[in-house]
Amino acid sequence: MAVEYLKKASRTAETGREDLRETVAAMLEEIRAGGEPVVRRFSAEFDRWDGEVVVSPETIEAARKALPERIKDDIRFAHDNIRRFAEAQLATVGECEIEVIPGLMAGQRQLPVTTAGCYVPGGRYSHVASAIMTVTTAKVAGVRNILACSPPRPGIGIPSALLFTLDLCGADRILNLGGVQGVAAMAFGYFVPAKADILVGPGNQYVAEAKRILFGEVGIDMFAGPTDSLIVADGTADPRLVAADLVGQAEHGYNSPVWLATTDRALAEEVLHLVPELIAALPDPNGQNAKAAWDDYAEVILCGDREEMAETADAYAPEHLHVQAADLDWWLSRLRAYGSLFLGEETTVAFGDKTSGPNHVLPTSGAARYTGGLSVHKFLKTVTWQRATPAAARPLAEATARISRLEGMEGHARTADIRLEKFFPGEHFDLRPSEEG
């Protein structure tokens, strides 16, 4: 059967999106030309901050002392889980070596980037979890220099919980900088010992656009849009949990889509009834964000069977995909497009957002069709090498010379010719491309 929309979005994450490219590009060029003084000026203008840019060891120590022990224990718990998962990922990455033909050895190595820049969002919330996800993963991957920046609060700087977290996870230098100026400082090497080779971490639309413009000059984790989540649920699901999970993700922002695909009309109708009540019970601005996201971006989709639900999920390719349905092993083997998968009502996206281990920096806006989220692999370069004996060089040089001339690349061909002359003097080789065909 064709899917039926019991609730249809009136807007998408891209609807009405301000064209930021010109503004952000101008800021980046001004920072590039003017250096650190321009960064400080933007920081004063946008974050109302004129204090220290590089956070001092004394400030970090004061932050550590200011935090209650229970909060520090919770942060350590999350850090341990995320570190262990990243270490397990690293164990799956291998180097190899093969004798391709007798005398020709080739292989691959896994080399971490030298310097990573981790952006940690600020603003209304202290994104402790984002600090853990980015810095810890870079540390496990073996990155030598880890930079981090986060928007300072006026008169305060980076909140104590974030400073403690960044230091615990292994940040080598922490900057009281947010927005475009923070991204630029790490990319251009201002206030830090080295330019970032890769920029990672979530941020607002200005941060995302800055990373998009700088991609190529530096690496980035992914192109990011508003966070999104989809739940697939059958008649065995608890509508209270489904509704709560939708609201929890809608809280992220006014344009954060949440979707429900279900085979059970009664469940869908109960969720549609419960969600507004749960949103109304949230404090503002959380409730305002969730209401806007639900009213304008949310969808509830009635499907004919579980295969149709799976097809819907793959088509949406959500950042977060939560299965609250029977036969979880079937869903794990069937689903193909998601940033991170949550199986069963015993877990929730919030666990993944904060503490459970797998990374929460994930592809949005359908990008899960072709990429996964942040992992140790993002900080590693798979590079290759080769070496050969003179005997192995002979067939390589002959074939290379002929293929190069077939392509019209005489300079390439002659680098092969000269080796045949050196290693096999006096021998004759037919190095013309075949005239057949």
Query: Catalytic residue numbers?
Result: 319-320
DSSP 146-215: EEEEEPPBTTTBS-HHHHHHHHHHT-SEEEE--HHHHHHHHHHTSSSSS--SEEE----HHHHHHHHHHB
Tell me if 335 sits within 8 A of 313, measured CB to CB.
yes
Neighbour-count burial of 138, counting CB atoms closer than 10 A to its CB (0-12 exposed, 13-18 middle, 19+ buried): buried
CA distance 250 to 169: 29
Tell me if 231 sits within 8 A of 245, measured CB to CB.
yes
CA distance 148 to 6: 44
Tokens of 395: 């067939």
Largest Cα separation within the chain, whole Å, is 89
Per-residue burial over 230-264, b = 16 or more CB atoms within 10 Å of its CB, e = otherwise? bbbbbeebebebbbbbbbbbbbbbbbbbbbbbbbb
* Residue 112 Cα distances to 116, 283, 377, 378, angstroms: 10, 43, 9, 9
